[in-house]
A and B are shown apart, each in its own frame.
Chain A
Amino acid sequence: MDPAEKDLQLQLSQPKKRAAAFSSLVRSYQERLYWHIRKMVLSHDDTNDVLQNTFMKAWNGLDGFRGDSQVSTWLYRIATNETLTFLANKRMRNLQSMDGDEDLMLQNLQADTYMNGTELQQKLQKAILTLPDKQRLVFNMKYFDDITYEQMETILGTSVGALKASYHHAVKKIEKIFSEED
């Protein structure tokens, strides 16, 4: 464990220094976690809710953090679980709706005030939406954030082999969608 990580974990374990250390942790990771969540839930307002839940879960669970992984990995894990839970709950709420999941997410994507970018970028987002949640997660982490399969393995708890296969399938699906469009 590198000295900075060791020092951070030490401060987080001391009641008097905990709040200050956590505050600087929020400032260091909020942006990365925001984009990790935003790519999955799409809307800014929903991302804001999930990000808040993520940090509050981390704060309330500090005593349970044993330091067997890096703080960043632990935060990513909480953010991922919160995101998947949010999406599952949203799906449950929308069960009675006539629209499918994909349509609802697409509506979410198009309705968001903070959605812009080129037509091609939007086309890619729509294609990504056709993937199952976990495949979408793997594709986003690999394609946009360039996270290594080994890092992904510690965050998602899925083997490197399975992650590689998942990414490969995601790419193939998106390519197929693009070819069908033209």
Chain B
Amino acid sequence: MVELIGIPPQLLFGQLLLGLINGSFYALLSLGLAVIFGMLNVINFAHGALYMMGAFAAYFLLQYLGIGYWPALLLAPLIVGAIGIVIEKTMLSRLYKLDHLYGLLLTFGLALIIEGLFRNYYGVSGRPYPIPPALAGGHNLGFMFLPTYRGWVVVASLIVCLGTWFLIERTRLGAYLRAGTENPTLVRAFGINVPLMMTLTYGFGVALAGFAGVLAAPIYQVNPLMGSDLIIVVFAIVVIGGMGSILGSIVTGLGLGVIEGLTKVFYPEASSTVIFVIMAIVLLIRPAGLFGRTA
């Protein structure tokens, strides 16, 4: 059999594709974090908990209201976004004048409370969520068996990521947002409601997390701990990509998913640490991150 870098090409291609799938989750989550940090200067540690709530929202909709996957894909992010808006309005907005650390501590505390509550009521084993029938099964690609649902995850998250990038970097609304972060007083002088814009931005950022949660529900167990397992890795990705860089977070998310996937073949024991090693190296060489601007 032909071998590429010591392993059969089938295995290599398969792992690259799997890395891309995991990278899609990283991209979606780090994008939400980047949007929130870019606009609000808040390091949102509650992101993982809100991602978990997105998955649980989908589970509740199905379990108690009989609402299936496709409506949940829209409804769950809206619910999570609404919760985010409440959090921003009642708590987070009071901290903008203070140091970053306060926002970080508040959201970290919120994450612990939310996860603790869910764990108390639903245990840690999680609840099953079925794959929607339209996306069940899979295709044999020759080098691997690709479950249809995983293919859908890549497509859906790429669409949402690129849509978000376009919205912020290429539209008038996005221009307002970016201007609002650069100089809020001046933008307000133009008659634009900056506090409302920030509230909606936070809502949108966490809705992205909710969306990722719904995408994840059929693959992983709907589990109170699913967010805390992921969030640290996602933060590392945001740091590598450069805090606040929209495109940077998308590209880094996908790229590191692939690197992590390859580590699982060559040296599986290190798969949970490889991203942090890369983070350390990047911080040494480019402290602002790969795509970050130096302040």
> Do A and B belong to a common assembly?
no
